[in-house]
Amino acid sequence: MHFRILTALLALLTLAACAARGPQADAGSFQHDVTTAARPWTDEAFDAAPDKFTFALFSDLTGGERAGVFEVAVEQLRLLRPELIVNVGDLIEGGTTDREQLTREWDAFDERARRANAPVFYAGGNHDLTNPEMWDVWDERYGRRDYHFVYRDVLFLVLDTEDNTTEAQWRLHEIRDEAIAAVEAEGWDAFMDTEYGRSPERRYGRIGERQQGYFLDVIAENADVRHTFVLLHKPIWERDGEASFAAIERALATRRYTVFYGHEHDYQYDIRNGRDYIGLGTTGGVQNTSKAMAVDHVTLVTVSPDGVDIANLKLSGIFGKDGRIPAGGETLCFEARVCGDQ
């Protein structure tokens, strides 16, 4: 009798210890023939939670896309096998009203994105949505410019920071062309002297009242999700007097959320409102060698019962079983500050 009681107590203690250590693999997943108390491994608490998943992010391709870099990133993502892929905009060079040119650019991007072995969710940047003609092309090809989705009890908010009135966006397009002409004539030093260079819409973007209301409703309707990710191109919260995104931040204030953005072509990390605000680098876009974190990379985000873990992987450090960077990446420069002159 005493032996049976002792055996039962030991079994209960073992179960309690396993539960405390975290998720376990299924009984049939891990098998071994070691019968000694001493074992040549650290633990048997496998990181195998059924509600854990990983997604990937990439960012800006534009400002003069560097040939071959995005193709490398896609092949590397095929090796990493995230469940889904999102981005924060600037997918094509854009900046034109020529529909044939826009069709060629979007067709080329779509063809490359489809090589990924996971769904790729688009976000629009200023290069993708430069003018109302480009808005129409996006709407015809992809539908919504701002949207949300829920995957495995995690909410994704995809914002449009080119949300101006039609008249204001045409004016932005015009002064952008003027700025480009000034740079071509006088060099980059002339850029910040142009109206476009000084424009808060260029740097920070805009979110209109309709979009604000849409996301406030979405947030209220998804109050119990595990985590919320906010994806947008420009750091709109840095704009003086900005109210629309501030209202969205207030609506998110009582929950766990993370913000990812692009536009700066320079990796940045900040804590705002006690949350992570992360500016991604590039995945083929032009790089400024004066910026210390101007680097081509992809980001892996793992959501688990423990929270969110974020890892950034430089494209120069992801190679396949043959020891080589895929898609001819061995010949490319992924960090202009380091290898741009080589």
What is the structure's pLDDT at 210? 97
Contact 267, 283 (CB under 8 A): no
For 157, phi and psi rounded to 5 degrees?
A: -110, 120
What is the structure's pLDDT at 20? 44
Pairing of strands 227-231, 154-158: parallel
Task: For residue 54, give every residue at least 6 positions away whose Cβ sits within 8 Å of its Cβ, in sequence order, or none.
Answer: 82, 83, 300, 301, 302, 303
User: How many Å apart are CA 338 and CA 115, to the nearest integer?
Assistant: 29
CB atoms within 10 A of CB 275: 18
Here the tokens at position 99 are 């529909």
What is the structure's pLDDT at 188? 85
**b vs e for 1-26, b when ≥16 Cβ sit within 10 Å of the residue's Cβ?**
eeeeeeeeeeeeeeeeeeeeeebbee
What is the structure's pLDDT at 27? 56
CATH C-level class of 58-163+205-295+310-339: alpha beta
User: How many Å apart are CA 301 and CA 284, to the nearest integer?
Assistant: 20
Q: What SS3 state is found at 219? A: helix
Tell which phi-psi region holds residue 63, choosing left (phi > 0), alpha (psi between -120 and 50) or beta.
left
Here the tokens at position 167 are 């008249």
Q: What is the DSSP letter of 296?
A: B
**Angle at the Cα of 228 (from 224 to 233), degrees rounded to 5?**
155
User: How many Å apart are CA 290 and CA 234, to the nearest integer?
Assistant: 20
Per-residue confidence of the chain (342 residues) as pLDDT tens digits? 444 544 444 444 444 444 444 455 565 689 999 999 999 999 999 999 999 999 999 999 999 999 999 999 999 999 999 999 999 999 999 999 999 999 999 999 999 999 999 999 999 999 999 999 999 999 999 999 999 999 999 999 999 999 999 999 999 999 999 999 999 999 988 999 999 999 999 999 999 999 999 999 999 999 999 999 999 999 999 999 999 999 999 999 999 999 999 999 999 999 999 999 999 999 999 999 989 899 999 999 999 999 999 999 999 999 999 999 999 999 999 999 998 754
What is the structure's pLDDT at 4? 52
User: How many Å apart are CA 9 and CA 326, to the nearest integer?
Assistant: 54
Q: What is the DSSP letter of 328?
A: T
What is the structure's pLDDT at 191? 93
Domain boundaries, the chain: 58-163+205-295+310-339
User: How many Å apart are CA 243 and CA 294, to the nearest integer?
Assistant: 30
